[in-house]
Amino acid sequence: MSERYNSKSIIGAKSRVRDVSPTSGMCPICIYECRALCEIGKAAFRGREVLYPLPEQYGMSTAASNKYYHMDWSDLQIMTEVRGAMGAESDPDKAIFPSVSIETTVGGVKLKVPVFTAGLGSTDVAKKNWDGIAIGAAITGTMQVIGENVCGMDPTTTFANGTVAHSEDMNYRVETYRRFWDGEHGDIVVQTNVEDQRMGVDVYALSKLEVGIIERKWGQGAKAIGGEVRIYDIDRAKMLKDRGYIVIPDPDEPGVQQAFKEGSLKSFERHSRVGMPTRRSFVEDVEWLREQGARRVFLKTGGYRPAVVAFTLRCASEAKVDLVTFDGSGGGTGMSPVPMMQECATPTIFLEVNVLRCLQIMKKNNMYIPDIAMAGGFTDETQMFKSIALSNFDSEPYVKSIAMARAPIAAVMKASYFTQLAEQHALPLEFAKSYGNTPEKFFSCFIELRERFGSDFRQIPPGAMGLYNYYHEKLGTGLKQLMAGVRKWKLNLINRSDLASLTERASKVTGIPLIEDIDADVMEKILLE
Ligand code: SF4
> pLDDT band at 220, cuts 50/70/90?
low
DSSP symbols for 442-497: H-TTHHHHHHHHGGGGGGS-HHHHHHHIIIIIIIIHHHHHHHHHTTB-BGGG--GG
- Distance of CA 12 from the midpoint of ligand 1 (Å): 14
Half-sphere exposure of 289 (CA within 13 A, CB side): 30
pLDDT at residue number 3? 55
Collapsing DSSP to helix, strand or coil, 313 comes out as: helix
- Distance of CA 492 from the midpoint of ligand 1 (Å): 54
- Distance of CA 26 from the midpoint of ligand 1 (Å): 6
- Distance of CA 63 from the midpoint of ligand 1 (Å): 25
- Distance of CA 521 from the midpoint of ligand 1 (Å): 58
Name the average pLDDT for the chain. 94
> pLDDT band at 2, cuts 50/70/90?
very low
pLDDT digits (tens, 9 = 90+) for 232-254: 999 999 999 999 899 999 999 99
User: What are the residues whose beta carbons fall under 8 Å from the beta carbon of 448, sequence distance 6 or more?
Assistant: none
Range ranked top by mean pLDDT from 9-23, 318-332, 350-364: 350-364
Which of 4, 8, 14, 31 to mutate to test ligand 1, by most ligand atoms within 8 A of the CB atom?
31
* Number of helices followed by number of strands (H, E) in the chain: 22, 19
Sign of CA dihedral 344, 348, 352, 355: positive
Q: Are 141 and 112 in contact (CB under 8 A)?
A: yes
User: What are the residues whose beta carbons fall under 8 Å from the beta carbon of 327, sequence distance 6 or more?
Assistant: 118, 220, 221, 222, 300, 301, 302, 303, 375, 376, 403
- Distance of CA 39 from the midpoint of ligand 1 (Å): 9
Residues in contact with ligand 1 by the CB-under-6-Å rule are: 15-16, 26-27, 30-31, 34, 36, 38, 40-41
Higher pLDDT, 481 or 60: 481
Q: What percent of the chain has pLDDT over 70?
A: 97
Q: Which atom of ligand 1 is nearest to the CA of 34?
A: 6
Q: What is the mean pLDDT of residues 178-193?
A: 97
d(CA 152, CA 196): 7
Q: Which atom of ligand 1 is nearest to the CA of 25?
A: 3
- Distance of CA 1 from the midpoint of ligand 1 (Å): 19
pLDDT digits (tens, 9 = 90+) for 116-164: 999 998 888 999 999 999 999 999 999 999 999 999 999 999 999 999 9
Collapsing DSSP to helix, strand or coil, 164 comes out as: strand
Q: What percent of the chain has pLDDT over 90?
A: 82
Residue minimizing CA distance to atom 4 of ligand 1: 38
For residue 382, is pLDDT > 70?
Answer: yes
> pLDDT band at 331, cuts 50/70/90?
low
pLDDT at residue number 1? 47
Residue minimizing CA distance to atom 8 of ligand 1: 27
pLDDT digits (tens, 9 = 90+) for 81-127: 999 899 998 888 888 899 999 999 999 999 999 999 999 988 889 99
